[in-house]
Structure 1
Amino acid sequence: MNFQQADLFEPIRAAYEAGGTLSNADLYKRLATDDVIPEGALLERIPVGKAGDLHNPMLRKIRWAQQSLRRLGLLEKVPGERGVWRSTKESRGDLTPAPPRAILLGFSTKLGLALWGDCKDVFSQITEPVHCVITSPPYPIAKGRAYGAVSEVEYVDFICHALEPVVRRLAAGACVALNLTNDVFLKGTPLRSMFKERLVLAVHSRLGLNKLEEACWVDSTKAPGPIAWASKERFLLHTGYEPILIFTNSDKPLFANNQRVLLPHSAQHLKLIAKGGEARTGSYGDGANRIRPGAFSRPTAGKIPTNVLSFPHRCRSQDEVRKFVNREGLPNHGATFPLALAKFLVEYLSEAGQLVVDPFSGWFTTALAAELTGRRWIGCEKMLQYIEGARRRFFDCDGYLEDYLLAA
């Protein structure tokens, strides 16, 4: 059985986090018991270097993994003890941010890569043209989630800095879709923040992108709110949608194509086509809209969706991954993005075989949508435990491989 050094990275990390403090001898025994290393591997000796001194290759690989874990701040030697190490985390439920400039491979499939690292570091290293960006970045909310918070004042700079490396890699005609919140308020008032408007202008002036579309994602299952200003003070209507801003670096041609996301015609429209279209003549809106005999008679593959998109927040795919992380003792990601909406955007904004990326992957929903629709993908996530949880969604994908490979 052939092992690469990176194959041992995650099993060794997991062994220390499960066992606390371990001597090297205890670690070797655990790895052998868990079938991570083959029986007898620690007894093998081969000549190494010019002198041909005999060394055990498996021990060298284990020590390499230990040093890599220590460099990443995940492992430390126990002071005063020889050959005794311990995890720097008290439990696997803690969130472990990627160290600066470190990029590791969390898992991969035949179509994509899940990378542990800061998006600015990851996409500064990517040289391949990117055809589509679909992401739901952290919201500028007052009470930050477990993975951190960005203030409303800092938000525009935060998003522009994060997107800058990937925008430099965009192929001509590519699109960038950002799912944002619509409900950020000036402190102590029902007045909505203008961060979204400032962001649109900054993306244009600083990143050179133009606004192509603004879709409204309507979620019928969304909880009522904002409680203070809608239910108590009665100033506002209840929240019902989130904006999805779509930008592009070109005017035309674009990779976006509504023909890939056509909806079925209604029964009434199909009857209209079958009888040869309209039989009447009409003029509406001061002549802006006219109907002539024979209009709507040509059969088409379906109807073009409106930019009001209705998708429930909850989906089966997310329910499954939540059950998985609960069983594994991993933290749940506080933000969600339905797979059906991600698939719609992936198919609308990219062609099969193109590269789709997500700088803030979270549950890797955009990556899964790309995988299921035959697009290549790169997703990066700053918190290691979210990658551990998201991998459950890719177990059945072609070429699935778990690995933690030091890349920078």
Structure 2
Amino acid sequence: MHMVELIAKKRDGYALTSAELDWLIANYTAQAIPDYQMSAWAMAVVLRGMDAHETTALTLAMARSGTMLDLHDLAPVTVDKHSTGGIGDKTTLLLGPLVAAVGLPMAKMSGRGLGFSGGTVDKLESIPGFRTALSSDEFRRLVREVGLVIAAQSSDLAPADKQLYALRDVTATVASIPLIAASVMSKKLAAGADCIVLDVKYGSGAFMATKAEARQLAQTMVKIGHQAGRRVSAVLSSMQQPLGYAVGNALEVREAIAALRGNGPSDLVELCLSLGSQLLLMAERASDEASARAMLHEALQSGAAWAKFCHMVTSQGGDLASIEQPDLLPSAPVQIALPAPRAGYVSAIAGASLGLAVNALGGGRSHKEERIDPRVGLSLQARIGDQVYLGQPLLTIHAASMSAVEAVVPQLLAAYQFSDTPVKPPALMEVVPGD
């Protein structure tokens, strides 16, 4: 085979075979195909698309480019979850303990935040001592002993995706549903879970701007999972405003702890109950959604999910006192309320603007090597649909200095829109079934 021929074939709108895609990924991973040729191929995919069989073949080739985990010697069924990223998205911190508490082991590899969306690994590392860099032996031991492990993405898992994503990021070829789906699902398939639920987010605070785009991506990923022999379903969730009230690493851990102890925001809890119900149904641990939700609700109310979270934290080196007393978690020295510039009803919140403001405060990163400040972020007091008065706090800015607060105030004020008449809050989610 010759790379020029594959580029031309895709440029002209033809589908590549499984053998051609296997060859392409194997040779690119081995650095036998130069970046300039892979860039040309990726742009051809952006312009011409891929059919379902091509997308699945690409995903499997990328998954097989590195280690393929098999956890069946540890548990008959394991589950996983993936979120496409959103502002204030701390669902893994609640969902993992919930499903593990009802007997479904979750072995999850998570990423760090990049751009305006925070990463689960960054959130957990705001707990003093918590280790996310685990060896494969540690990872497997914690699956067996705890039933819940959340670790940083292993470098030997789907290495082709790491190479290709870095290339797409600098060649304007990120915005392709087949390439996005293959990127997400190659890592999920390589991680070995039998049942996977996808939290596909849309809106101003998410990567997919519209619900229609999110649905197309969700359907593509569900189909890939089925063709690869996995049980997969998806939930479309709104990021028209942040999930919950906290945005920022330690702040989001505090909010997840509150949820695990029965006092969390209703939208976060509802989303996790829906995602968890999908996992229980796919794993055949519940006969219908109502019984699945009842099991999860009991795990939350009884304290079983909280106990599982504590077990995970201590097993990965985290300081138990810091989660039992969340005031011990990192806290910003400057906390300033942002007053409403006018009276009315909150009609819109630009989630991406909030996320970028947190980045500017030091709570996110624009490149992977950048260090973050776990203390900083935002805690919202007003969300879409809420009535506010002139001067009433819209949110609290948690910052390292007063100058950092002053730098983000204009951006935060511009993120809020107001109406003189009542506004209905946006719908939270919609299930894309796996069958």
TM over 0.5: no
> Would you tell me which structure has more helix in proportion to its own residues?
2
TM-score, L = length of structure 2: 0.24
Q: Which has the higher contact order (CA 8 A, sep 6+)?
A: 1
> For the pair shown, which has the larger CA radius of gyration, 1 or 2?
1
> Would you tell me which structure has more strand in proportion to its own residues?
1
TM-score, L = length of structure 1: 0.25
